[in-house]
Amino acid sequence: MFSNTKKSECKGTIFSKHYTINCRGKLVEFNKPLVMGILNLTSDSFYDGGKYNSLPAAMQRLETMLDEEADIIDIGAVSTRPHAVPISEKEEIQMLLPALETIRKKYPDILISIDTFRAEVAKLCIEAGVDIINDISGGTMDEQMFETIAKYNVPYILMHIQGTPETMQQNPVYNDVSQDVLMYFAEKVKVLRDLGVNDIILDPGFGFGKTLEHNYQLLSDLEIFHSFELPLLVGVSRKRMIYRPLQIQAEEALNGTTVINTIALQKGAHILRVHDVKEAVQAVKLLQLV
């Protein structure tokens, strides 16, 4: 899955510089872009909510993504679509832990990230064998999150968001979205570094408190985030920034998603977070030939 051969490297991209993260004692190398498959246990996510909120359905979906060569499985139980009202912490835990126990028993070695903004949920999931914490709030929705990450020494996906899922699309405003997100990362990375956190992945947060114009400016300026010399995650899968200008629905946005993912790869994205693993893997493989 994580080949170290020269053949696997992407020519002429940021991948001439290799990054690694430490996942439970195993070094994961970014010598090629990785594909993170989304496993939503939620009932109301914007695209596939309710499809995989039973354990048998979730396991079947997981197995499909692994067959399609997903490198990481990102599991979430709280919808973070615009205007979503989060479920309680107790409900989130009750959905995640049984699924994690079953998944870890059958697949002890796969890389799993948990999509949560709650420190207690992160703690329990790490203790259940999760490798990475993916926090859409960048530590803004639970002040204990950074300390939890530092205590357990796990890789942390630091995402930018303006507001919360309930409020983030209510007239988001920036002086300059790319520079504002850059400064946000600079401040947050310093805090994490001061706490001893070494394994940080940056996510500009496409669609999280951004207008259509903001999203495309971030995409255009994506290379500026390589200044941190940290892996960069891009999550645009079937989002409004794709289907709205095309005047289609999320269900029709696979082709547009592949186009935007390819642009992100050309600009040095290290991880693609996607609903459609097979197509993202194909984009990565073709780009490796260029």
Q: Which residues are catalytic?
A: 239, 273
Token reading at 117: 């903004």
CA 42 to chain centre: 16
CA atoms within 13 A on the CB side of 42: 25
- Type and span of the H or E element at 132: strand 132-135
Strand, coil or helix: 133: strand
Angle between helices 177-194 and 145-152 (to 10 degrees): 50
**End-to-end CA, the chain:** 21
Q: Are strands 26-29 and 20-23 parallel, antiparallel or unpaired?
A: antiparallel
Q: How far apart are CA 96 and CA 74, in angstroms?
A: 12
- CA quadruple 174, 45, 164, 126: dihedral positive or negative? negative
Token reading at 259: 């186009």
- CA quadruple 256, 225, 156, 145: dihedral positive or negative? negative
